[in-house]
Amino acid sequence: MRNLVTCVVCFVTVIFLLPFCFGAEPVRFIFDTDIGNDVDDTMALAVIHALQNRNECELLAVTITKDNPYAAPMTAVLNTFYGRPDIPIAVVKNGPAKEDGKYNRQVLELKDDAGKPRYSYKLSPVEQLPEAVAYLRKRLAAEPDNSVVLVQVGFFTNLARLLETQGDDISPLSGKELIVKKVKFLSLMAAAWDGRREYNVIQDIPNAQKMIDNWPTEMIFSGWEIGNSIQYPPKSMQDDFNYVKYHPVKDAYHFYRGLDNSQPTYDLTSVLYAVRPDRGYFDLSPKGTVKVLDNGTTTFEPSENGKHRFLHVNPTQIAAVREALIQLTSEPPQK
């Protein structure tokens, strides 16, 4: 009898402690990226996979806003390298930034010592991949209510178009209604508060204006100054990725900026906030309203009912975030 009581007590204790051992439910999110312009989107994907290794998040899908045929294959290379080759990828149609850029095509064309493609991946031909807006409608409609975090680290094209959709055979809900019902919040890398015309905004100003004016959930902006103030050190880039002979993130950085330079962490910060919003990595501004002016600059006006906030960091947080990002980015695949 005493053994039975001991067993029951142990069982109850284990059940009670399980949530503390394994943390909260994974953050389920969709990553909307312009991969192939700046290179930080590749490191952001590395961070995502490392956080998913810890069961802190689940990457539901990647949607792409760079209208170039090498963007989806590069995404597939990274997802395959990190052991998750089947994550769905959907692409923008008639979108911005059609140029190849400095690293996607170059990485995809690399060969190994035997003369074969250095990185393998499985992906339908790009013209047969799902269109991003229809895919977003379908995916959101299928997800539980109030369960999805959106992370946008490129242009405003896909999510602005989603917002404008009407009910259809995928869902009777409009895009705005779907977002209200399914999306917890939007974490995005965009804007700047020093008068700068930030790249993600100025590539598609009309959609940036429409989306920021009408988006129905909370939007958390990681402005240009956040990723610029948290620089990824070249020493890590040079040394910490050598656990394999060929590393697609290291190759991408080699082509884009070289391995001897510090690397800004723009998109990585939006991922880190989306998955770990309560860890004190960043402080948040008061609520307010962001506006995109016609020249592409952005303003912020505090207001009690505003849906917008932006990240800021002090020197202690900069050091902590940099260290977290080094550890996460350079973690070897675990699948």
Instruction: Select 67 or 267, whichever has its Cβ closest to Ca ion.
Output: 267
Tokens for 135? 């895919």
For residue 269, the minimal CB distance to Ca ion (Å) is 11
User: Taking the complex as a whole, how short is the minimal distance between the CB of residue 144 and Ca ion, in angstroms?
Assistant: 28
As measured in angstroms, the least distance from the Cβ of 38 to Ca ion is: 5
Identify which range of 28-36, 144-152, 179-187, 287-295 contacts Ca ion by CB under 5 A: 28-36
CB-nearer residue toward Ca ion: 39 or 87: 39
Q: Which of residues 126-155 bind Ca ion (CB under 5 A)?
A: 153-154
**Number of shown-chain residues binding Ca ion (CB under 5 A):** 5
Q: Which of 41, 204, 225, 251 binds Ca ion (CB under 5 A)?
A: 41
- Our CB check for Ca ion shows the closer of 225 and 267 to be 267
User: Which of these segments, 38-46, 89-97, 212-220, 288-296, binds Ca ion (CB under 5 A)?
Assistant: 38-46
Q: In the bound complex, what is the minimum distance in angstroms from residue 65's beta carbon to Ca ion?
A: 9
- Residue 223 touching Ca ion (CB under 5 A): no
Residue among 179, 152, 36, 159 at smallest CA distance from 99: 36
Taking the CA atoms of 48, 50, 51 and 54 in sequence, report the sign of the dihedral they define.
Answer: positive
Distance of CA 48 to the CA centre of its chain: 7
Site string for Ca ion, 250-269 (x = CB under 5 A): -----------------x--
Q: Which of residues 152-211 bind Ca ion (CB under 5 A)?
A: 153-154
For Ca ion, the binding residues (CB under 5 A) are: 34, 41, 153-154, 267
